[in-house]
Amino acid sequence: MKKFFISLIAGIALVSCNKNDDNKKENPQESNILRKMTTRDAEGNSSVALYTVENGRLTTITHQKYSKNDTPNGTPEVSTFYYDSHNRIIKAVTTGSEGGADDKTDKYSYDDQGNLVTYEKIFTDSHRSKEFYEYSYTGKQLTKIFQKTYIKGSINGVPHTRIDCYEETFTYSNGGNTIVQHNKGFEIDAQGAVISRTIYEANTITYTLSNGNVVKTDNKDSDGRLHYVVESTYDTKNNPLQHFVSMLALYPEVFSEKAKNNITKMTTTINDNGKTQVTTVRSEYNYNTSGYPISAKVYTKNDNETEKESTIVYEY
């Protein structure tokens, strides 16, 4: 569900939220709650997301892809959310993902301050891997994520489960406007002893924020070599997904997607073995009288290729 939600909002930014508001429901003016978002790419393929809100709570997200002749492409993916008495999401059930192959249940728990502390992903297919996340904080600031992925397989015909671990640590400076994320991966055995420290190359991601928006993200490897840089500019209007407070609480580490405004330009520069690739995405919005976007034209250009236009339509 995390991957689905993030991919669903690619190209627009999320607003940052305050988890001290755990007892608040999604209760803005009804006319400004996002109900439907339709995206259409340059080839004419489209994707429709439907948001169902009941009694101030986001209860389902339904996502359907369509081919360029508006014929449904596969089955709809539906995520259904369940809440505790503090209006926090404690379970999400996803069906129809990749034709049912990725159907799963996500479970969440929180500490007394409302911080997300555990997240467990369980696939319906018992042969699929299982993922478990633990979150640590200093006050309300996220300081560490520890992920364990249980990968089922066999060695010489004997069933075997490999446990891959991924650790992300976070430090803050400049009044919280600079966030540095250090990543590393390693394999452990059933008793927790480290077997291998080379699951993937360690890297560091630095986020630079201004006015609550991430304006720059850079990714460097363990030797300080730059992999990519993302630079973004924003409008001063309202993000259409800002009312889904309980949903946003599930993503304390997605700094690059959390913004209180809408991205108008995003430039990504990738360094790949000495070659530089640049992708520029520009977004032009139309707004309603409350300052929420009702439509957007998105222009994407890769290096010297022809610029491609896609569209987004928001319905409230």
Q: What is the pLDDT of residues 167-226, one digit of tens each?
A: 999 999 999 999 999 999 998 888 788 887 666 678 999 999 999 899 999 999 888 888
The Cα-based distances of 203 to 156, 184, 225, 246 in angstroms read 34, 7, 9, 30
pLDDT at 307 over 80: yes
- Collapsed DSSP state (helix, strand, coil) of residue 2: helix
Domain ranges of the chain: 2-315
Q: What is the pLDDT of residues 256-292, one digit of tens each?
A: 666 889 999 999 999 988 899 999 999 999 999 999 9
Q: How high is the pLDDT of residue 10? A: 39
- Residues 58 and 17: their CA atoms lie apart, in Å, by 15
Q: Does domain 2-315 have CATH number 2.40.50?
A: no
Q: What is the pLDDT of residues 73-131, one digit of tens each?
A: 999 999 999 999 999 999 999 999 777 778 999 999 999 999 999 999 999 887 788 89
- Collapsed DSSP state (helix, strand, coil) of residue 67: coil
* Predicted model pTM: 0.84
